[in-house]
Amino acid sequence: MEPALPVFSQAEVSKHGSLEAGVWVTFRGGVYDIGEFVAMHPGGTRSCWRREGPWSPSGRLCELEMDPEDQARQRAVEPSDPYSGDPQRHPVLRVNSAKPFNAEPPPSLLGDSYITPSAIFFKRNHLPVPRVDPASYRLRVEGLPRPLSLSLADLKGRFPKHTVTATLQCAGNRRSEMNAVKQVKGLNWGIAAIGNATWSGALLRDVLREGGWGPEAAAVAGGGARHVQFEGLDADASGTTYGASIPLNKALSEEGDVLLAYQMNGEDLPADHGYPLRVVVPGTVGARNVKWLGKVIVSREESASHWQQNDYKGFSPGTDWDTVDFKSAPAIQELPVQSAITQPADGAVLERDADGEVTVRGYAWSGGGREVVRVDVSLDGGKTWQVARLREGDGEGEEQGEAPPPPPPPGRAWAWKLWEVGAPLPPGEQQVEIVCKAVDNSYNMQPDSVAPIWNLRGVLSNAWHRVRVTVRED
């Protein structure tokens, strides 16, 4: 079994090495600093890795461990700071905002593994991370003939455990490209406010049925219930909690796969990702995947929260903050087709490989369970194109110690596809603009440029992704 270790050219090593904390790679769900290992093998690392393995004494590869003393020290400072209880985070993350904590991984790491390790999965918090005692925790379910109050043991014991591999993407992923066109309001996300994980928990559908949802209940509710609201346990100083809602039909659908998830990547949810329980709404914008879930309410109305009503909506490029009417646009639910290049990085200096080619890698995904069926890549700014190889299911997953995922059932393609292409280039040093665009099974395609889809909140940024690199002779 061969680990999926990227091959570093010298140029790339110095690029990766410029990260403050070493040279990071993902391997079988872990995130490792191989800085010393790379320094000892300047010719590139793949063959050495193959020969010596990831834990060789000479490689001295070690997984990052949080120093418990550091952690305690961090908690001891400023007890009045509402963020003092926030968990420790991985140093490789690029922090967009410290309080509340918002961060994304370096793109090359993201593109390394089909399943994004939880430690580097983007974190998007609007408020301090709440500390929830799992023993006294109860999920309240309202708006049903039989309101429920469920402990964690109830959720794990009374409902079948369901596992889904699903990609989660923030509405603001790639916002920085909109900012480059014209200033928007919001965190300046790069291309990595997206990740793919396995989520396990009870189906929301099963829980709603336990509460008596059914045709007769629909009548009891006056036939008017249309939405399911979610309330988080994270609150601001005034006690306002995070909240959002989704359409009831998505929650009830046998094919919707909406989860009340207590596990991420086979372990308890990490604190940043909603411990002990979060909603996972596959195919739907990150904002509706409410973390630290306290309450579920079946209702006639959408959530009244700020984030459902006055945020996470799309507008015309011609709409500005003086003219915007948030009531005029629907809340974002399913996201449009998306793709981006995770390797090489914008501005990188590259060398051709032994075949005279340059390797380009990235991710592609679409909302609503629509499957990505093709990714086109151009090395000349979009004049000529070639089709990338979709890495899903071809054994690439096995390199990560995972079984290759089976093809998704129609309409339930919740997970992204990683893709790769080796592109030949004519000799000589040159500047190259690499472009990618994805196509989903409804033949939706990404728009070619940012300006026509620019919007004041910088959401839904899904234009062709472009990186500019310099290709050098050896």
Ligand X SMILES: Nc1nc2c(c(=O)[nH]1)N[C@H]1C(S)=C(S)[C@@H](COP(=O)(O)O)O[C@H]1N2
Q: Which residues form the interface with ligand X (CB under 6 A)?
A: 121-127, 168, 170, 232, 234, 242, 272-273, 286-287, 289-292
SS3 289: coil
Complex with ligand X: residue 256 or 344, whichever CB lies closer? 256
Which part of the chain contacts Mo ion (CB under 5 A), choosing from 75-83, 164-172, 324-332, 372-380? 164-172
Residues 6+ apart with CB under 8 A from 73: none
The listed partner (ligand X, Mo ion, none) that binds 126, CB under 5 to 8 Å by sort, is ligand X
Token pair for 309: 């009503």
Q: How far is the CB of 22 from ligand X (least distance, A)?
A: 24
Q: How far is the CB of 150 from ligand X (least distance, A)?
A: 18
The listed partner (ligand X, Mo ion, none) that binds 232, CB under 5 to 8 Å by sort, is ligand X
Q: How far is the CB of 201 from ligand X (least distance, A)?
A: 14
Identify the helix (H) or strand (E) that includes residue 80. none
Q: How far is the CB of 241 from ligand X (least distance, A)?
A: 7
Token pair for 15: 């690029």
Which part of the chain contacts Mo ion (CB under 5 A), choosing from 26-34, 89-97, 278-286, 323-331? 278-286
The listed partner (Mo ion, ligand X, none) that binds 273, CB under 5 to 8 Å by sort, is ligand X
The listed partner (Mo ion, ligand X, none) that binds 291, CB under 5 to 8 Å by sort, is ligand X
Number of residues located near Mo ion, criterion CB under 5 A? 4
Complex with Mo ion: residue 234 or 396, whichever CB lies closer? 234
Strand 148-150 and strand 162-169: pairing? unpaired
What residue has token string 């596990």? 263
Amino acid at 438: A
Q: Cα separation of 332 and 458, whole Å?
A: 13
Amino acid at 186: G
Complex with Mo ion: residue 99 or 389, whichever CB lies closer? 99
Strand 357-365 and strand 417-424: pairing? antiparallel
Complex with ligand X: residue 49 or 114, whichever CB lies closer? 114
Q: How far is the CB of 171 from Mo ion (least distance, A)?
A: 5
CB atoms within 10 A of CB 133: 7
Complex with Mo ion: residue 22 or 195, whichever CB lies closer? 195
**Among 22, 143, 286, 397, interactor with Mo ion by CB under 5 A:** 286
Residues 6+ apart with CB under 8 A from 195: 105, 110, 116, 120, 121, 122, 167, 168
**Among 34, 170, 178, 244, interactor with Mo ion by CB under 5 A:** 170
Does 248 engage in binding with Mo ion (CB under 5 A)? Answer: no
Does 287 engage in binding with Mo ion (CB under 5 A)? Answer: yes
Complex with ligand X: residue 49 or 275, whichever CB lies closer? 275
The listed partner (ligand X, Mo ion, none) that binds 86, CB under 5 to 8 Å by sort, is none
Are 208 and 230 in contact, with CB atoms under 8 Å apart? Answer: no
Complex with Mo ion: residue 287 or 436, whichever CB lies closer? 287
Residues 6+ apart with CB under 8 A from 287: 170, 171, 244, 307, 311, 312, 332
CB atoms within 10 A of CB 32: 21
The listed partner (Mo ion, ligand X, none) that binds 271, CB under 5 to 8 Å by sort, is none
Which part of the chain contacts Mo ion (CB under 5 A), choosing from 41-49, 170-178, 236-244, 338-346? 170-178
Complex with ligand X: residue 144 or 287, whichever CB lies closer? 287
Complex with Mo ion: residue 259 or 287, whichever CB lies closer? 287
Strand 349-351 and strand 465-472: pairing? parallel
**Among 15, 90, 124, 457, interactor with Mo ion by CB under 5 A:** 124
Which part of the chain contacts Mo ion (CB under 5 A), choosing from 71-79, 80-88, 281-289, 319-327? 281-289
Token pair for 255: 């094919």
Q: List residues binding Mo ion (CB under 5 A).
A: 124, 170, 286-287
